[in-house]
A and B are shown apart, each in its own frame.
Chain A
Amino acid sequence: MHVVILYLGVLLQGGMRDVELTVVSSILALMLGALGAIGRLYGGRIIGGAIYWYVELIRGLPPILQLFVLFFGLSQFGIDLNPLSAAIIWLVAYGAGYAVEVFRAGIMDVAEGQHEAATALGLDRKITMRKIIIPQAFVAMLPNLTTLIVLQLKNTTLLYLIGYADMMYQARLGADATAQPGPLYVVVAIEYLVLSAIISRIGSSMEKRAAAYR
């Protein structure tokens, strides 16, 4: 237990860094994902096709490979990213790839009649998307979005591999220094579980509120 007390401070600090990354990268990924889904659905062959292949790339390549290409691979060509930038870029790129699919499914879930009604009222495509389609799509895809954000949180564990000092990184250091990995990893596990439980709770309360009209 001694080792837990010794390392609790840095583990909590590392946890905070994971939370910050998850929040920032999720917000950016969702914004890009919404745009990407619209581009995929309405962008025509070139834009739609490019986004299709981007999603395939993100989905098809192992996360660790993507991260290593970005951090180590690019430095060979003189692009040196610090761990924080690489972490954010990768998490946003990865999350956006998944968010495109989540948003696309949500948008396609909105009934054709909604488009017709909006068009007949003279609303242009941008306003129709912003005021009619996206809000309804958002409700339909909230469960999937919650899953996506939990996934983003869990992806932060990989970042210790590029030297980003998150909770996993601190636990590794502690495990190496004290030769008592067990208790430290248990603390990390508890932190992750608590955080993902919080995300789920926020998600389900948003679902309840958003579904008030249903």
Chain B
Amino acid sequence: MSNEVVVKVRGVTKRFGDRVIFENISLDVHKSEVVAIIGPSGVGKSTFIRCINHLHSFDEGTIDVQGFRLVGGQSPSKAELQALHNSVGMVFQTFNLFPHLTVLDNIVLAPMQVKKQARQQAIDRAMHLLAMVGLQNRANTFPKRLSGGEQQRVAICRALAMEPEIMLFDEPTSMLDPELVGDVLEFIQRLARTGMTMVLVTHEMMFAKEVADTVVVMADHGIAEMGPAREVLESPRTERARSFLRRVLNPVGSPREPNLVANGGDDR
């Protein structure tokens, strides 16, 4: 993690009609930093990271991504969006692989269409990525034939094939059976070690603690607490963050404090 800020969020507010989803969010993401966003469901975590690559527009504030500026209430030009999408990759909760294309074609489509890479060059890169996750022998399979964990790893490869500077993950393991979560998280962790800048919405607290540099707790339409991962997860300062962590780390309600659970680490 360096001092260079690659995503600078200032005073961002998002509404759907009259309903405020979140307001006045400000946040810096540095190069090679891993930021995990946690918080109760429905507070707009997924909506927020979709604002970073403009899958959702927002109403007020600014987001600077790698020198491009998104301004609340304004639509960026096509060329700006293109540049933004070239440098920001995204992985979705529901994988969103293209079901009618093989694994390989899912991965090479954007490099060929957007970056105008030759097919062979795109295939070489795709096979290299697939080999990293042990799926090179599934290249010619349709997504439906893969397990959820395999589909998500392919989806990560698809995003990486565009060689993004920043990766966004929207609850990448929420739809997976528990025994498949590990492979996906392991891949994300490896990616973090290569110095990839990442913003990650997750419910995996142990993973956030281990991989993230910074944890952001979203609650009540804003950021309740933000700081170094261990600090926030083990000894949250605000009551809002504390009560959220107590509930997720200790859902059945025995009277243990969150820091004890976080230190235990074996009973998620």
Contact = CB atoms under 8 A, between A and B. Distances in A.
B134 to A, nearest CB: 22
Interface in A68-120: 111, 113-114, 116-120
Contact of B114 (A113, A121, A135, A214): A121
Contact of A131 (B86, B92, B113): B113
Contacts of B109: 121, 123, 131
Interface string B108-136: 01100110000000000000000000000
B100 A135 contact: yes
A213 interface: yes
Given A123-B113, A213-B142, A117 B162 contact: no
A139 B113 contact: no
A32 interface: no
B55 A119 contact: yes
Contacts of B113: 123, 127, 131
Contact of B144 (A113, A114, A119, A213): A213
A116 B90 CA distance: 9
Interface of A is mostly: helix
Interface string B139-169: 0001110000000000100110010000000
B82 A117 contact: no
Interface size class of A (residues with CB under 8 A): 20 to 34
A176 interface: no
A116 B114 CA distance: 16
B89 interface: yes
A113 B94 CA distance: 8
B98 A114 contact: yes
A119 B142 CA distance: 21
Contacts of B53: 120
Nearest to B83: A122
Nearest to B143: A213
B85 A116 contact: no
Given A113-B94, A213-B144, A120 B100 contact: no
Given A118-B98, A123-B109, A213-B143, 12 more contacts: A113-B96, A114-B96, A116-B92, A120-B88, A120-B159, A121-B85, A121-B89, A121-B110, A122-B162, A123-B113, A123-B114, A213-B142
Interface of B: 50, 53, 55, 78, 82, 85-86, 88-90, 92, 94, 96-100, 109-110, 113-114, 142-144, 155, 158-159, 162
Interface of A: 111, 113-114, 116-124, 127, 131-132, 135-136, 139, 212-214
